Amino acid sequence: MAKSNQKLISIILFVVGVVLLVWGLNEYGALGSKISRAFSGNLSVRTLALLVGGGVCAALGLKGVMGR
């Protein structure tokens, strides 16, 4: 793959990661999530998946953008 294509994919991956992180943070603060945490003490699977997936995507995208 050409270097410019790798850079483009990295930028897209970073943006998707940031969007997933923001979505996960919104889920974390939602009323349903607060109630779930109050009774079980744990995050919902959806919230955890959004936060972890977003963090991984953003980190990989940033690594690709910054260079190897």
For 7-46, how does the pLDDT look when each residue is reduced to its tens digit (9 = 90+)? Answer: 999 999 999 999 999 999 999 888 888 888 888 888 888 9
Total domain count, the chain: 1
4 in any annotated domain = no
3-state secondary structure of 12: helix
3 in any annotated domain = no
Q: Containing domain of residue 29, as a range?
A: 13-66
pTM of the model: 0.84
Give the whole-angstrom CA distance, residue 51 versus residue 25. 7
3-state secondary structure of 3: helix
Q: Residue 1: which pLDDT band, with cuts at 50, 70 and 90?
A: low
48-67 per-position pLDDT tens digit:
999 999 999 999 999 999 98
